[in-house]
Amino acid sequence: MSARFQGSFVAMVTPFRSGTVDEAKLRELVEFHVAHGTDGLIPCGTTGESPTLSHDEHKRVVEVVLEAARGRIQVVAGTGSNSTAEAVDLTQHAERAGAAGALVVNPYYNKPTQDGLYRHFRAVAESVAIPILVYNIQSRTAVNVETPTLERLARDVKNVAGVKEASGSLDQMSQVIAACGPDFSVLSGDDNVTLPLMAIGGHGVISVIANLLPRETAELVHAALDGDWKRARELHYRLFPMARAAFLETNPIPIKEAMAMAGMLEPEFRLPMCRMSEANRERLRAVLKTYGLVK
């Protein structure tokens, strides 16, 4: 048996127009990724500004992406919350809608203990039959899913299938791979460490920059999966400037601004997310020029 999730997944932005979700643009983005080799889509992750979506909007975004995908590409719905009951509701909806799995972020602000984290993820996973990916990102949630907790989940809960690792620590990622085994999907949550993670046994990425550069991101991941490390390194260094630029300000501000500069969507956010500063916008534009995305 191999890992259930591997390849290049994109943490999709949510396009807005005049304050509402732009469903037509969302469908266009799905077609863009199908055409450019992305392996899977993640609607309503935190890159999709999910904390600012109403529950009805959240569910509708997942439904629209699944309708547009028409089974041509995997869809793993973001369904996390700092409320376990809310995460269960969103995850059950994703299962009913036909998602291939769910990405569940650490409960934020609550700052649960490791036992609380275990109980939270177990409750969500046991409420559905679809596989669950834990999204471990201490920098935005105040808690780290420690390796023994993740190992316990992988052992005790059959549909906890992997983790989106955004701890920033290759040491921790190595511990997870060693503890949870080769069938447990370990996906990078940071574009700049996709290649290093795959070199130690990771399975791919849930990418921010693939919103803009999907083909190159997918090529990097598949070169690494195929053991073509020379090509993977070339692509890593080609993508590295964009990976850094994507965090000039808080994600998803830079990637949406970049997509707007490239004519892909409107540069619209929901507060407390807001437009990028002019100085950083010029820095971002300079990076995009190196990729031929703006003049």
* Active-site residue (options: 164, 256, 289, 295): 164
In the annotation, is 111 catalytic?
no
Region 148-163 average pLDDT:
97
Q: What is the pLDDT of residue 38?
A: 98
DSSP state of 44: T
Give yes or no for a contact between 43 and 78, defined as CB atoms under 8 angstroms apart: yes
Contact 136, 107 (CB under 8 A): no
The reported pLDDT for the residue numbered 295 is: 85
* pLDDT tens digits, 232-287: 999 999 999 999 999 999 999 999 999 999 999 999 999 999 999 999 999 999 99
Determine which one of 118, 135, 289, 295 is catalytic. 135
pLDDT of 1 reads 35
Cα distances (Å, whole numbers) of residue 270 to 16, 51, 88, 274: 8, 10, 25, 7
109 is catalytic: no
**What is the predicted pLDDT for the residue at 276?**
97
% helix / strand / coil in the chain, to the nearest 5? 50, 15, 35
**CATH superfamily, region 7-223:** Aldolase class I (3.20.20.70)
Tell me the pLDDT tens digit for each residue of 72-105.
999 999 999 999 999 999 999 999 999 999 999 9
Model confidence pLDDT, tens digit, residues 26-64? 999 999 999 999 999 999 999 999 999 999 999 999 999
Q: For residue 133, is it left (φ>0), alpha (ψ between -120 and 50) or beta?
A: beta
Phi, psi of 74, rounded to the nearest 5 degrees: -65, 140
Are the CB atoms for 191 and 209 separated by under 8 Å?
Answer: yes
